[in-house]
Amino acid sequence: MNEYRNILLAVDFSEDDHYVAQKAKHMAEKLKAELSIIHVLDNIPMPDTAYGTVIPLDTPTSYASLEVEKSNLVNIADQLGVKPIHRCLVWGEPKQEIARFAEKYQIDLIVVGSHGRHGLALLLGSTAKGVLHYAKCDVLAIRLQEE
């Protein structure tokens, strides 16, 4: 079996990120794989911005909330030792942008968190489920505490 060479960690800046990130980092180290990280901006209104627009991390913007998201991503990536070239902040729908990045950069494993869900949330589906649907590579869902 081929080992994973390029692992993508998807972070949503929730308190679960640390747990999921440690699993991804550990796996990348064990396999000597390259670790990439992505956050998809789905909660900031950005008029006239097309889905799939990548936000440069090293250029200041006029959006205060965007600066917060940028520094969140840079902080996590620095802690994990992810190279600047393997960090992605992009505007759009999380499941689609995560899958799009994975395909574009030959990712062979995506790591996401997964909550146990009930009721309406179960019907609406999770990001993990959506990524599994859209991605062409393997997806590792890290089980998180039930909400």
Going 38 to 44 to 45 to 48, the CA torsion angle's sign is negative
Q: Give the interface segment with ligand AMP, choosing from 24-32, 60-68, 73-81, 109-117 (CB under 6 A).
A: 109-117
Contact status: 92 vs ligand AMP (CB under 6 A): no
* Of 6, 7, 8, 20, the one binding ligand AMP by CB under 6 A: 20
Q: Where are the alpha helices (DSSP H) in the chain?
A: 17-31, 64-80, 94-104, 119-124, 127-134
Q: Radius of gyration (Cα) for the chain, nearest Å?
A: 15
Tell me how far, at minimum, the Cβ of 93 lies from ligand AMP, in Å: 9
- Cβ contact 101:131 at 8 Å: no
With CB under 6 A as the contact rule, the residue among 27, 42, 66, 80 that binds ligand AMP is: 42
**For helices 127-134 and 94-104, what crossing angle results, to 10°?**
40
- Kindly state the helix (H) or strand (E) to which residue 53 belongs, with its residue range: none
Q: Is position 73 an interface residue for ligand AMP (rule: CB under 6 A)? A: no
Figure out which of the listed residues 6, 28, 77, 127 binds ligand AMP, where binding follows CB under 6 A: 127
Binding window for ligand AMP (CB under 6 A); candidates: 21-29, 57-65, 76-84, 107-115 = 107-115
Are 39 and 11 in contact by the 8 Å Cβ rule? The answer is: yes
Nearer to ligand AMP, 5 or 117 (CB): 117
Among 35, 40, 77, 82, binds ligand AMP (CB under 6 A): 40
- Token digits of residue 10: 């998807």
Per CB under 6 A, residues contacting ligand AMP are 10-12, 16, 20, 38-40, 42, 94, 112-113, 115, 126-128
